[in-house]
Amino acid sequence: MSSELRRIIPQVDEVLRRSEFVALGLSHGRVSVTLAVRQAIDELRNTILAQNEPVPPPEGVHEALLSRVTAILGARLQASLRRVINCTGIPLHTNLGRAPLAASAIEAVVQAATGYSTLEYDVDTGERGSRQSHVRALLVELTKAESALVVNNNAGAVLLALSALANQREVVVSRGELVEVGGNFRIPEVMEQGGAELREVGTTNKTYAADYERAITARTAALLKVHTSNYQVVGFAAAASREQVVEVAHRYGILAIEDLGSGALVPLHGEPTVAEAVAAGMDIVTFSGDKLLGGPQAGIIVGKKECIARLEKHPLARALRIDKLTLAALLATLRLYRQGAQDEQVPLLAMLTKDPIRYQSEAEQLAAAINALPASLPAWRAEVKPAHAQVGGGSLPGKEFAGFVVAIESPIGCVALEQRLRCRDIPIVARIEKDRVLIDPRCLLAGDREEVIAALEAIAAEGAL
Ligand SMILES: *Cc1c(COP(=O)(O)O)cnc(C)c1O
């Protein structure tokens, strides 16, 4: 058997010399193809040995190797980080990458990535410039703050602010605002990392300005307000207003800092805006670049010139530095806000501000397309229903967005359908409710609808596996 096997199963080099494999080498790289061929040969040898099968003809061997190698390379090419279609209706789905970018932001990323840029170059003087200068003026304009600094995410922004302004000193925070954002980001722990000592005041449901005042000592550096962006305290509850916190802080000559979390630049469903926090007199305000702003993941810090300058000089500022692609995307997104074009052009804001009627007609078009699919689908039924979605990403807790979904019933059952949609090359993420698979059109982007319809058609054609 083994000598016969050696005769049938070619050597790796021999396979690699064949034109189809040379062609694969051009698109996948020679090393990858060599490894894939080795794996395919091993597998083929093992299958023949294990199954004691009749020996295939040489052309059969060649075909089998080519198809297996193509599959191995395809699977390797299919990056684990890849596009999915978000049918959940949750625009800031944390697991699905939070906010999609505006077209102009994507273009800016491509430009910044493609060539050289004025990232840290001042064309007027021909000398070194600051990457911060590009966004600073825009942020100052949009928030009316004195100055601004951007870092790679908001968790980093909070860490930097505390490290630079409150190291080895105390920071007073309301018990009701000791937020855990998720993924191990808890305000008390970030404070500890930043070298600040936490002084909790008030109770979970009530904290007054006087509670902050009583906690101030000679060692206090700042009063910190944290926007409870991912939960709400309702009922018998009270919190000191940001104006009150600022008043107390400044009366004692200490800083007032606010972590806004999902900072909205424009009024959005009752969320506090960054400009409001700045106008209240906060010395430092930190917020996310994606969440409710709809730009790239980034941490934005705005506030008093002198405080921002201290942050900029801290060594952590370098460690948390924003990269050029993020900077390009952020800049382009902020420019849309300056033009007042954000609601139509920032996808996240479009999803949150569009009239629900628009989603009804999108759902109806989708349902009609599904119901019109060919013969294989008689037992499938798609129906439009009103539904509610949350924004996700730990933002706007409790806020329900009215919308519409397409509810699909199929002969393969909802569990199998949800799974088959999810396991496609371009995974389609939907949810199940009352034995139906729900497709919410709110977060569908260009080309997604066609993809969903094609997927359902293919799944129907496969039938029950
Ligand atoms: C989301 C959030 C953060 C963290 O922001 P990232 O952009 O995810 O780093 C920090 N603080 C609050 C209050 C938040 O809501």
What is the Å distance from ligand 1's center to 154 Cα? 5
Position 465 scores a pLDDT of 55
Position 204 scores a pLDDT of 81
Q: Measure the CA–CA gap between 109 and 97, rounded to whole angstroms.
A: 17
The answer to whether the beta carbons of residues 52 and 9 sit under 8 Å apart is no
CATH of 103-343, one of 3.40.640.10, 3.40.50.720, 3.30.590.20, 3.40.50.150: 3.40.640.10
Bridge-partner residues for 151, per DSSP? 299, 321
Nearest CA to ligand 1 atom 10: 261
Closest ligand 1 atom, residue 228 Cα: 13
3-state secondary structure of 410: coil
H-assigned helices in 167-221: 187-193, 209-215
CATH code for the structural domain at 85-93+351-462: 3.90.1150.180
- Indicate the top mutation candidate among 160, 173, 178, 185 to test ligand 1's pocket, ranked by most ligand atoms within 8 A of CB: 185
Closest ligand 1 atom, residue 155 Cα: 9
Q: What is the DSSP letter of 177?
A: G
Position 306 scores a pLDDT of 98
- CB-defined site of ligand 1, < 6 Å: 153-155, 158, 179, 181, 185, 226-227, 229-230, 259, 261-262, 288, 297, 394
Where are the domain boundaries for CATH 3.40.640.10 in the chain? 103-343
Nearest CA to ligand 1 atom 11: 261
pTM for the model:
0.85
Provide the residue-wise pLDDT of the chain in tens; the chain has 465 residues.
567 777 788 899 999 999 999 999 998 899 999 999 999 999 888 888 877 666 677 788 888 899 999 988 888 877 788 899 999 999 999 899 999 999 999 999 999 999 999 999 999 999 999 999 999 999 999 999 999 999 999 999 999 999 999 999 999 999 989 887 766 778 888 888 889 999 999 888 889 999 999 999 999 999 999 998 777 777 788 889 999 999 999 999 999 999 999 889 999 888 899 999 999 999 999 999 999 999 999 999 999 999 999 999 999 999 999 999 999 999 999 999 999 999 999 999 999 998 999 999 999 999 999 998 876 667 889 999 999 888 887 788 878 889 999 999 998 899 999 999 998 989 999 999 999 999 999 999 999 999 999 999 999 888 765
Sign of CA dihedral 120, 121, 124, 125: positive
What is the Å distance from ligand 1's center to 4 Cα? 64
Position 375 scores a pLDDT of 64
Where are the domain boundaries for CATH 3.90.1150.180 in the chain? 85-93+351-462
- Indicate the top mutation candidate among 151, 153, 154 to test ligand 1's pocket, ranked by most ligand atoms within 8 A of CB: 154
Bridge-partner residues for 264, per DSSP? 273
- What one-letter code names the amino acid at 260? L
